[in-house]
Each structure stands twice: as C-alpha cells, then as structure tokens.
Amino acid sequence: KKFIFLPFIIGLAFFMLYIFNQDDDFELYNEKYLEYSITNNKIGLRNLISEMNLKGDSSDLNEVWLKIYIYLELEDYAEALNLMKTVYKSKSDYQVLLRICMLESRLKSHNKSCYDNVISEFRKKRSDYYNVDSYWYAVFLSRGYDDLIQSDLHKTSIDKSFLDSLKVKDKDELIYEFFPK
C-alpha cells in the first residue's frame, strides 16, 4: 500500500510547489509593478512586462490584469485592449466590456453598438444600474439616450453635479480621463 500512495504524494507535492511558485511569481511581479508605477519608472515597467511575457501566457487572471495595468501605464492601449478582450471572453463582465469600448474609442476603432451592449447588460444584470458610475459613463459616451437619461436621473442617488459634469464633457475628454493622450 505504501507504494501506491508514494506516487500520489510525490505528485501532490510537485503540484503544491507549482501552485506556490505561481503565487510567488505574481507577488514579485506585483511588488515590482507598484514600485515602478509609484516612481514612474517606464523602463522598469517595460522590463517587467518583457519578463512576464518571456514566462509565457498565463491563465491566472490576476497576472493578466497586472499586464493590462502595465500596458495602460505604458500607454500601449492596443496590447491592453487585446488582453482585456481575453478577460471578457472568460468572464463576461459588463464593467470589462465598458473598458473595452472606451479603449476602442481611444484607438478610434469602436462602433456605437459597443456602448449600447454595455447599457443593455447593466440594465439586465443590475436592478440598481442607475446607481453605478460606469452605467452613466456608458450612457454619456453613447450620446443618444436622452429619454433614458431623463427617466434614470430621477432614480439615481449619484451626485447630480458629477452626472452634470459627465453630460457636458466631450466624448474624447471622458475617454482621455481614463486613457490619456
């Protein structure tokens, strides 16, 4: 019986080492990211993303999000967009879809239906959608929902001055707040 359990225990030990090693990699990458981000060290960020990419594609969503943040900080919006689409495929989250639409707008490669889909998803999946900032970004970025705006403005508990500021800003100005020139 000892011989039967021995391969199982050895396999389990290697599996646990692999899992802990992955966590250690992420922690190290995250620490480097924070250090380089705080000090605005673009060279460090470029080296970090190169190091992460050399390791190969990761299925760990935390690592993928970290890569997205690095690409955004480096203003490599096309790479961030590609990774964000990968995240959205695995986790159909309307908040992620909004960021995809915004990045596509930033790169001048979106269509209006992208924001329409975000608005539709918010309305389907959240009963209090009108109390979520991201919903209002989608509405004002879509620029075509005056009737919706009026009915939902009466329901929301979001600060009216914030919503007024969104309403009067140019679409590009809203996008550049998240993804600068």
Q: What's the sign of the alpha-carbon dihedral 91, 29, 69, 74?
A: negative
Q: What is the mean pLDDT of residues 119-138?
A: 91
> Are 141 and 111 a contacting pair, CB within 8 Å?
no
Q: Where do the domains of the chain lie?
A: 1-56
23: confidence class by pLDDT, cuts 50, 70, 90 = low
What is the C-alpha separation between 175 and 41, in angstroms, rounded? 24
What is the C-alpha separation between 111 and 65, in angstroms, rounded? 24
pLDDT tens digit string along 136-180? 999 989 877 777 787 888 899 999 899 989 888 988 999 998 888
pLDDT tens digit string along 39-87? 999 999 999 999 999 987 777 888 999 999 999 999 999 999 999 999 9
One-letter identity of residue 4: I
Q: What is the pLDDT of residue 92?
A: 84
pLDDT at 119 over 80: yes
More confidently predicted of 111 and 8:
111
**In terms of Cα–Cα distance, which of 56, 64, 105, 63 is closest to 87?**
64
The whole model's pTM is what? 0.80
Q: What's the sign of the alpha-carbon dihedral 64, 69, 75, 78?
A: positive
